Structure 1
Amino acid sequence: MSEPLLIIGSYLSPCVRKALVLLEIKGVEYRIDSIVPFFGNVEFERLSPLRQVPVLVDGELVLNDSSVICQYLEERYPQPALYPADIADRARARWIEEFADGRMGQVVIWQLFDQLVIGRGVWGREPDAAVLEKTYQQDLPSIFDYLEAQLPESGWLFGELSIADISVACFMRNAQFARYTLDAGRWPKLAAMLERTFALPAFQKLHRFELAIARTPIVQQRQALIAAGAPVSATSLMREQPVRGPMSRS
């Protein structure tokens, strides 16, 4: 019998979350080494030369980048399909995924979550008030205006649940952890889509593990996940002290 897939990366990472949601919805067995990339050891850096997560290990195959990983999972485990069947919709869904990874990653992660959570928790740095002001007043509203315009009057972005809805919701979960609340009066279609997505069993299951480590010191998170019943890997690539990666913006 083949070994379960291994995902390396923290439950609190939106890109890790995206891969985990696909695995959960598709019913694929996996294990997770839930480490913050700053705390990855030398072996982690060998598997992830940019010191980024997620990393997927499937036997001899090692994949980096959440979009690459999700496309692989879709092709290897095609049911239920999470990419639209129509070629034009599939391309548009991939664009929304890229918009989430790129623009939402820049704003939600590096200008919000990094300022309020990572900076304090990992580097002991207080947030930059000017960065947060621009994030709240300009950058987040522009993102939400765009997404609101892409959504139909009700339901998912492309009729059925797809990688597009999942990708957007994964980043908005981090906004929630940074105590941001979306204005449902201003962006009602987006708020309704997110509510529906967060209600999915896959998101609810993962959220239990996210909450188990959200306020837990990094060095204690592995034990907290084991206690919570997460499918934790037998060994870990974690080191005790953080190190910045070549792509780090912190």
Structure 2
Amino acid sequence: MSEPLTIIGSYISPYVRKVLVFLELKGIDYRIDPIPPFVGNDAFSQLSPLRRIPVLCDGDLLLNDSSVICQYLEDRYPQIPLYPADITARAQARWLEEYADVALGEAITTKLFFQLGVKPHIFGEKTDAVLVQQAREIDIPAALDYLEKQLPAEGFAFGELSIADISIASFFRVAGFVRYVIDAERWPRCAGLVARTLALPVFAKLATFEDRALRTPVPEQRAVLADMHAPLTATTCGGAPPRRGVIAID
């Protein structure tokens, strides 16, 4: 029997969430070391040279970057496909994933969540109100304007659930942590797709771990998640004093 895959990265991260949804939907056995990148120790730096999450370890194989990891899981475990079969739709789904990673990642994760959640509570630094305002009033609306033209009025982006839906919804799950909600009157297609995706059982399952982690100080999160029977690794790469990496998420 093969060993479970290992994922390194916090449940709160949208990039980690993408990978965990893939693992759950494909029924792949895994263990998680649920650390934020900024508390990774020297061993973490060896596994993730840019100090990004998630990291996947599959035996001797080590992969960084959520898009690379998801494509690997799709290729290795194709029985439950999460990319469209049609080559054109597949390329379009990859583009929407990339757009979410870059545009929503910058606006929601870096400007909104990092400023409101991470800076004051982890680094003890003041929130940059200008960046928060820019994210809420300019960057996120611009991304939603674009996505509204790409998404269907009903169902998922390419018929069946795919990497595109998972990626977009994963970021707006994080936006919800800091009380940003899509205006359903202005962007009904975006609001509908995100609501449908986040209502899936796999997202609800992960949300129980996310919510507890969000309400728990970082040094205490592993113990709390263990009490919840999260599938934790036997050891951790966390525990170091908080420090920034090149980019903390991917």
TM range (shorter): over 0.9
Alpha-carbon separation, structure 1, partners of 2:56 and 2:47: 9
**TM-score, L = length of structure 2:** 0.97
Residue 58 of structure 2 is matched in structure 1 by 58
Query: Would the aligned equivalents of 1:18 and 1:167 in 2 still touch at CA under 8 Å?
Result: yes
Residue 185 of structure 1 is matched in structure 2 by 185
Moved more, 234-243 or 161-170: 234-243
Secondary structure of the structure 1 residue equivalent to 2:235: coil
Residue 89 of structure 1 is matched in structure 2 by 89
1:164 is displaced (CA, Å) by: 0.2
Moved more, 93-102 or 178-187: 178-187
Q: How does 1:43-192 map onto structure 2 within 5 Å?
A: 43-192=43-192
**TM-score, L = length of structure 1:** 0.97
Alpha-carbon separation, structure 2, partners of 1:53 and 1:177: 19
Query: Would the aligned equivalents of 2:53 and 2:248 in 1 still touch at CA under 8 Å?
Result: no
Secondary structure of the structure 2 residue equivalent to 1:153: coil
Query: Would the aligned equivalents of 2:53 and 2:65 in 1 still touch at CA under 8 Å?
Result: yes
1:248 is displaced (CA, Å) by: 5.1
Residue 30 of structure 2 is matched in structure 1 by 30
CA offset digits 1:167-220 (Å, max 9, x no partner) = 001111110001111111111111111111011111010000001110110000
Alpha-carbon separation, structure 2, partners of 1:79 and 1:230: 25
> Which consecutive unaligned segments of at least 5 residues does structure 2 have?
none
Sequence identity of aligned pairs in percent? 55
Q: How does 1:167-246 map onto structure 2 within 5 Å?
A: 167-246=167-246
1:126 is displaced (CA, Å) by: 2.2
Structure 1 residue runs of 4+, over 6 Å off? none
Alpha-carbon separation, structure 2, partners of 1:97 and 1:47: 24
1:82 is displaced (CA, Å) by: 0.4
Secondary structure of the structure 1 residue equivalent to 2:211: helix
> Which consecutive unaligned segments of at least 5 residues does structure 1 have?
none
Residue 4 of structure 2 is matched in structure 1 by 4
User: How many residues are paired up?
Assistant: 249
CA offset digits 1:5-62 (Å, max 9, x no partner) = 0000000011000000000011111000000111111111101000000000000000
Alpha-carbon separation, structure 2, partners of 1:59 and 1:177: 34
Secondary structure of the structure 2 residue equivalent to 1:62: strand
1:146 is displaced (CA, Å) by: 0.8
Alpha-carbon separation, structure 1, partners of 2:197 and 2:64: 25
